[in-house]
A and B are shown apart, each in its own frame.
Chain A
Amino acid sequence: QKEVEQNSGPLSVPEGAIASLNCTYSDRVSQSFFWYRQYSGKSPELIMSIYSNGDKEDGRFTAQLNKASQYVSLLIRDSQPSDSATYLCADQKGGAGSYQLTFGKGTKLSVIP
């Protein structure tokens, strides 16, 4: 069973701090990686995608990918209370024309004012 693993948390950080979320995946054929944010009762919302090794920055968010270590992370700088949510890591594999996502269970982040 190919899996995506995340620490379920909760992860608590003070407002203004850096939140660091981590994810590992087991399937070496995975090509694309995504971070989704999900507020309670709402849809998963895409916040970052990353396809190649290294860092990708978008505003306060930085995604990091290390394919050799099969490791993906998300850094949130200057954390705000509105960032409090569950963060889902997912990888994407292709095969026979299907590109399904495999999700981790999610990490619950709480930003304390």
Chain B
Amino acid sequence: EAGVTQFPSHSVIEKGQTVTLRCDPISGHDNLYWYRRVMGKEIKFLLHFVKESKQDESGMPNNRFLAERTGGTYSTLKVQPAELEDSGVYFCASSQASGYSPLHFGNGTRLTVT
């Protein structure tokens, strides 16, 4: 079974540019999460999809971040325009069951905004 896959693994962009991160969850997993770890901090929740619907987006930092999951399969997270403080590692995770169940994480996308 393939794990959670994220693209790209690294991205370096300039302040003000746009970046789109992609996540392919484990096949059949309806629940998809985005998390972020900025330097020196803990991994923090951004949002949660159930199929194509946003279940919880309380962790999204501001309206420069836009997440989509059209068709309930892969998801994208767009940052536009990027700011320096957006630098960090963006993780995607998925789970098959709703409720209290473990999440399976991808390797993350390391975003550097210069």
Contacts and interface: CB of A to CB of B under 8 A. Distances in A.
Interface residues of B, number: 28
A94 B100 contact: yes
Interface stretch (A11-19, A44-52, A62-70, A72-80): A44-52
A20 interface: no
Interface stretch (B14-22, B41-49, B76-84): B41-49
Contact of A97 (B4, B35, B98, B107): B98
Contacts of B33: 100-101
A100 B50 CA distance: 12
Given A99-B101, A100-B33, 10 more contacts: A4-B42, A43-B91, A43-B105, A44-B105, A51-B100, A94-B99, A100-B59, A101-B103, A103-B42, A103-B44
